[in-house]
Chains A and B, each alone.
Chain A
Amino acid sequence: MSLLQPGVPAPDFTLNVTPSQQLSLHELRGNPVILAFYPADWSPVCGDQMALYNEILPEFRKASATLLGISVDGVWCHEAFAKDRHLHFPVLADFEPKGDVSRKYGVYREADGFCERALFVIDKQGIITWSFLSPVGINPGADGILDALDNLAR
């Protein structure tokens, strides 16, 4: 299965956001949502993707959009990662069944056991309006997300 394309309803999911809390996509209906699938916590690069998004949160908020990071790492790993990097947005654990949500969005790498680096912008009705698959080793930045949010506002 390949990357879900614009026009498709975003598959709903419920994932752990902390060891004791869960978040469902449908709870965010009514405002845009950005899904940022990424292969793994603890990327060593200066200005890694999640650190960048952390800085751009005010711009996402201007568009009333909620950013969710997703990887197959478990909740305790995410918690340590988010704390270390001072992340101010939720990172969800696609941990059990492993990669289930990634598969639904067409971004699971079976051979590797982790997900692609892929982005989705979902409108307030829950429809995917933009998706992007980045080479796994390349940080896609945020210009595409911001352009997609601009297009929603038009």
Chain B
Amino acid sequence: MLRIPVSDADHVQGNLNSAVVLVEYGDYQCPHCGHAYSIVKQVQQQFGDQLAFVFRNFPLAEIHPNAEAAAETAEFAASKGLFWEMHDAIYENQESLSVETLMRLAQQLTLSPLSLEDAWVKRAYLERVREDFSGGVRSGVNGTPTFFINGRRHEGAFELEDLVAAVDAAL
């Protein structure tokens, strides 16, 4: 079960009062999360405003050296109201993920790469990322991506048909 309930403090697409709330714990450098990225988009399209989607950070920094910087970059963008734009941009550029890529993406979203660098150096958004991570661990997240549907952990595969069936069952 999800130990940290979804709230306004989360990054949410859609309305938290929707029939179904899908939460993903993800790592920006994890290839499985990259695969899940486009699947979640399709699930969202299919269910429209019946579904809200929440993304929480779960970077496995020791095996994915850019995952934490990427998560901090998305949180930095969130502080300027551009979380989802950055979230999407990072996943769409996952194969070339690097510090340079993150700075380029910031620039493309008209964010200051220098401010981003400053945020990294000061680790201004790391605490938020680590809080997501700790909450995930307490909820039994054991790898990425891990999904929760209305607070219950989604077990098994996360191909389109699996997630659609799971969301359908929760409607």
Q: Using a CB–CB distance below 8 Å, which chain A residues touch chain B?
A: 45-49, 51-52, 54-56, 59, 85-88, 139-143, 146
Contacts and interface: CB of A to CB of B under 8 A. Distances in A.
Given A46-B60, A47-B60, 14 more contacts: A45-B143, A46-B31, A47-B63, A48-B143, A54-B62, A55-B60, A56-B137, A85-B62, A139-B142, A139-B143, A141-B137, A141-B140, A143-B137, A143-B140
Contacts of A86: 62-63
Given A46-B30, A46-B143, A47-B143, A52 B138 contact: no
Interface in B47-70: 58, 60-63
A60 to B, nearest CB: 11
Interface of B: 3, 27, 30-32, 58, 60-63, 133-134, 137-144
A126 B27 CA distance: 37
A142 B143 CA distance: 11
Contacts of A51: 60, 62-63
Contacts of A139: 142-143
Contacts of B140: 141, 143
A49 B63 CA distance: 12
A51 B65 CA distance: 13
Contact of A142 (B31, B58, B62, B137): B137
B138 A47 contact: no
A45 to B, nearest CB: 6
Nearest to B142: A141
A52 B134 contact: no
Q: Which of B31, B32, B62 has the most CB of A within 10 A?
A: B62
B69 to A, nearest CB: 15
A52 B61 CA distance: 10
Contacts of A88: 62
17 contacts: A46-B31, A46-B60, A46-B63, A47-B143, A48-B143, A54-B62, A55-B60, A59-B134, A85-B63, A86-B62, A86-B63, A140-B142, A141-B141, A141-B142, A142-B137, A143-B139, A143-B140
A46 B32 CA distance: 8
Contacts of A146: 137-138
B139 A47 contact: no
Contacts of B32: 46
B27 to A, nearest CB: 7
A17 B156 CA distance: 35
Contacts of A85: 62-63
